Amino acid sequence: MAELDPRVRLQALLTEYSTRAEAIERDLSREHAQSFSEQATERQNDMVLQGLLADARMGVQEVKQALERLDAGTYGECEKCGEPINEARLEALPTAQHCINCAD
């Protein structure tokens, strides 16, 4: 299998997180029901959505930072020890900032 360009992978991930955040923001901006019992359920759902939105926004930020590291030529280097981050780790977690040893 051919290795995928990190920039392509990161851009795809950025699009995924951004699209997810936009969809959640649309859901959160909808009007709530008139019924008190339905409003209570909707408010609980909103709390879950707010958590998911925070995760999506964090993902966007992490991808942007990874793209900055790529532009600077430091993508794939551990920010703590300076050693290369294992390819398998970057494959599983493209925004990884630390090698597995420093991440522990």
Residue 3's pLDDT band, with cuts at 50, 70 and 90, is low
pLDDT tens per residue across span 7-51: 999 999 999 999 999 999 999 998 876 776 777 788 889 999 999
Same structural domain for residues 47 and 98?
Answer: no
Do 54 and 103 sit in the same domain of this protein? no
54 versus 35: the higher-pLDDT residue is 54
Count structural domains, the chain. Answer: 2
pLDDT at residue 99 in the model: 96
Task: Tell me: do 43 and 65 sit in the same domain.
Answer: yes
2 domain residue, yes or no: no
Q: Does residue 80 share a domain with residue 66? A: no
The Cα–Cα gap between 85 and 103 comes to 10
Q: Which pLDDT belongs to residue 95?
A: 97
Q: How many CB atoms lie within 10 A of CB 17?
A: 20
83 phi and psi angles, rounded to 5 deg: -75, 160
Whether residue 44 sits in one domain with residue 16: yes
Same domain membership, residue 56 and residue 11:
yes
Shared domain for 80 and 67, answered yes or no, is: no
pLDDT of residue 41: 80
| 34: phi then psi, degrees, rounded to nearest 5 | -80, -30
Residue 45, CB half-sphere, CA atoms under 13 Å: how many?
A: 14
Whether 32 maps to a domain, the answer reads no
